[in-house]
Structure 1
Amino acid sequence: MNVAIVDFRPDHAAVWAQLNTAWLAEGGFAVEAKDRLAIDNPQGVFLDKGGRIFIAERDGEAVGCCALVPTDDGVEVCKMTVTPAARGLGLARRLLEACETAARAAGAGRLYLETNSALTPAIALYESFGFVHLPARPTPYARADVFMEKRL
C-alpha cells in the first residue's frame, strides 16, 4: 500500500467535491452556503487566496483532503476528512502535519479550526496534535460549536 499527501490539482475537483459532500452527509450536516462555495470553487476559495489544499492518496486513489486558508493572524484548517475505508491509517494526522508545515513555511502564527462537538474522533485528533479549545465566537457555520487553535 502506497500512501501520499499531495497538493490539489485541477483533476482533483470532482473527488474534492465528493469527499466534502460525503463527510457532511455522514455527520448529518446540511451543506451550507459557505460549504457550497468551497466545494464548487476550491481554486477561488482557497488557492487564489494564498491557501493550500492537500489530498491524501492511497495507491493513487484520493481518500482524504484538507484545506488551509490564510486569516488575519494565521491560517484556518478547513474541510478535513478521510473516507471511512481509509480511516485508521494515520492519514488525518499526516494531513494535519502537511497543514502545519505549510503554515510554518508561510510564517503563520497559528492554526485555527471550527468543528462540531459530535465529531469526537476529529476533536481527539486535534487535541493530540496540540490544538486547544477557544471560547465560542461568531461563525458562518450553523454546525460549528467547537473552536480550536494551535499556536506555531
Structure 2
Amino acid sequence: MSTTSSEHITIVPFEEKYQQAFKDLNQWWIEQYFKMEKMDHKALDNPKSYILDNGGYIAVALLANTPVGVCALIKMENSKFDYELAKMGVSPEIHGKGIGYLLGNAILTKAKELGAKTIFLETHTSLQPAIHLYKKLGFKEIKGVESPYERSDYQMEIIL
C-alpha cells in the first residue's frame, strides 16, 4: 500500500457495517501507547447509541471500499464546547498519507453544518504527530478542562 495517496480515499458517513473497523482502528492505537479505558469501551462498543443517537457523527475513510480510518464528532452537553473531535484512528499500514487530515477536515465541515461554533479535543503529549495534525487543522492548545481519561494531558480547541 505504499503508493496510497489521499486521492484514492473516500470519506463516508458511518454505517453499521463499519462498527468493527471503528473499534479495531481505535483499539489498535490506544493499546499501542496506553490502555483501553471505560470511556473508550463506551464509545467503541456502542457508537450508534453513544455518538450517533446523541447528535454526533462518525466519518469513515475508505480505500477500495475498505475502512482505513475513522473519526468521531461527539456532541458535548453542559460544556462551553459544542462537540468533541474524538476517536480518530488510521490503519498503521498507511500512516503519513494524509488520511487523518482528510478525516479531520470532514469532521470540521460536518460540525459547521451542524451549527457548531467550538470543537474540543484531548490527546497526550507523547502523540506528537497527532498534535501536529490538529494544529494543521487549526486547533490551539487550551488548559483546565476536566477529562474522563487517565491518558489525557493535552487539550485543544478550534473556534469555527
TM-score by length of 2: 0.90
Which of the numbers 14, 20, 44 marks the counterpart of 1:8?
14
Which residue of 8, 13, 23 maps to 2:29?
23
Whether contact under 8 Å (1:136, 1:145) holds in the other structure is no
Residues 117 and 123 of structure 1 are in contact (CA less than 8 Å); yes or no, is this contact kept in structure 2?
A: yes
Alpha-carbon shift at residue 141 of structure 1 (Å) = 0.2
Provide the identity percentage.
36
Query: Aligned residue for 2:108?
Result: 100
Q: Residue 43 of structure 2: which of 38, 46, 55 is its match?
A: 38
What is the number of residues matched between the two proteins?
151
Alignment partner of 1:139: what SS?
Answer: coil
TM-score normalized by the length of structure 1: 0.95
Aligned to 1:110: 118
Q: Distance in 2 between matches of 1:23 and 1:117?
A: 15
Distance (whole Å) between structure 2 residues aligned to residue 22 and residue 47 of structure 1: 22
Structure 1: which 5+ residue stretches go unaligned? none
SS for the counterpart of 1:118 is coil
Cα separation, 1, equivalents of 2:127 and 2:144: 16
Q: Structure 2, unaligned stretches of length 5 or more?
A: none
Deviations 1:72-115 (A, max 9, x none): 43210010011111122211011011111111111111111000
